[in-house]
Amino acid sequence: MELCKRNAVKRKTPCVYAKLYHDISEAVLDGRLAPGSALFSEQELAEKYKISRTSVRSGLHELRKNGFIEKRPGKGSFICRHTLRQNTNPTYSLALNASLQSDDFWYGVRISSALTRFCAEQKCHCILTTTDVIADTDADAYMLLLMPENSDLPLHLSAKGKPSILFNRINTHEKVAYVSVDYRLESRKAIQFLLDRGAHKILIPDVPGNQTQRHLGMADALQDSPGSAIFLALTPPHNLEQQVQQIREAILTHAPDSIYLINASRAVPVLNVLQELNQNIPVVCFDDITPLKSIYRGTLYSVCMPLEQMVQDAADYLIAKLQHGSSYPVLKKLYKAVISE
């Protein structure tokens, strides 16, 4: 604030952006403005504080200089990610129940890798465990992955004074935090993406008995085109050779014009069969499998969730919750997926 004071002395009037500076810096320090959140535009701030845009820019410059905000070209000003964590206790430990099951392995690796990087940068301890023992894992805060719908574990942990956040699970309880993609909506959009491109014989290989939000979204999209799907019931994942044979026979028998993969676990066998048969059938996968383009030269689309950003936001929330306790608001945040080629 020295520049502010110096300028005020020269003019012998109060610094015109003092209230703007005070309000934003205090909101950052007490947690009302979360790391990574966007500020109002310069015009909106000028109108709110009844000062000129030049004065707003001066105030924002001081906030940037003192580490409260950062400017992102073409996007505006955002709260610095390090601000709430500047006094982070290096002994904080964050636990994650990373799945090692074949269906979820790829997904679990991406999330655990992102959290491990976050903890290394912030000098926290990262504890990777499994769902069956995470409730008994001694940690300061918990990121809960692949939890059953309406699990009471977050409330159980809260009663013990342990902050937690659900990852890719939506929960309506007011005290349960989450970061999530709307699986049902994004799965519906993925099937609709194929239908809009003229698909009328979509091969959907899947293990029977699943009824997840992804499946419900798929069913939503197919309501008006019930004859457009060819459902292939696969054997359990451990019998990979038999799955490959089933996929090969289904492609040769039904001649699908597209393929929809519920998750990445079926991607490698499907793409290998297409390579073997020398067929370029468009594939949409509800997971980011763009690395597989190195082995598949055909048309490949991925439903990409912003997993790294979600991990960052979830971990930021847990640290802020540890620092500010119950005064810090419960985070409930939805993200959009994008279909990329």
**Using H for helix, E for strand and C for coil, what is the string for 295-339?**
CCCCCEEEEECCHHHHHHHHHHHHHHHHHHHHHCCCCEEEECCEE
Q: Give CA–CA dist 240/153, Å, rounded.
A: 34
Identify the pLDDT of residue 237: 61
Q: Which residue has the higher pLDDT, 10 or 333?
A: 333
CB-CB contact of 135 with 153 (8 Å): yes
Q: Which residue has the higher pLDDT, 210 or 165?
A: 165
pLDDT digits (tens, 9 = 90+) for 282-298: 999 999 888 888 777 88
Is residue 160 classed exposed, middle or buried when 0-12, 13-18 and 19+ CB atoms within 10 A define those classes?
exposed
Q: DSSP H helical segments within 12-132, as ranges?
A: 18-29, 42-49, 53-65, 105-122
Is residue 272 classed exposed, middle or buried when 0-12, 13-18 and 19+ CB atoms within 10 A define those classes?
middle
CB-CB contact of 240 with 269 (8 Å): yes
Instruction: Please give, one letter per residue, the 3-state secondary structure of 211-264.
Output: CCHHHHHHHHHHCCCHHHEEEEECCCCCCHHHHHHHHHHHHHHHCCCEEEECCH
The amino acid occupying position 129 is T
Q: Give CA–CA dist 212/271, Å, rounded.
A: 24
Q: Which residue has the higher pLDDT, 294 or 115?
A: 115
Identify the pLDDT of residue 82: 58
In the chain, the percentage of residues whose pLDDT exceeds 70 is: 89
The residue among 72, 74, 23 whose CA lies nearest residue 51 is 23
The residue among 327, 335, 336 whose CA lies nearest residue 34 is 327
The amino acid occupying position 82 is H
Identify the pLDDT of residue 99: 65
Instruction: Name residue 178's beta-bridge partners.
Output: 166, 332
- Calculate the CA dihedral of residues 122, 151, 168, 72 and round it to 10 degrees: -40
CATH class of 93-182+307-334: alpha beta
CB-CB contact of 68 with 80 (8 Å): yes
Position 100 confidence tier, pLDDT thresholds 50, 70, 90:
low
Residue environment code for 317-330, b if the CB has 16+ CB neighbours within 10 A, otherwise e: bbbbbbbeeeebeb
The model's pTM is 0.70
CATH 1.10.10.10 residue ranges for the chain: 2-85
The residue among 68, 36, 43, 37 whose CA lies nearest residue 57 is 43
Identify the pLDDT of residue 85: 44
Residues 6+ apart with CB under 8 A from 15: 1, 4, 5, 7, 8, 21
CATH class of 2-85: mainly alpha
- The kind and range of the H/E element at 153 are helix 153-159
CATH 3.40.50.2300 residue ranges for the chain: 93-182+307-334, 183-304
Identify the pLDDT of residue 103: 60
Domain 183-304 has CATH 2.60.40.3080: no
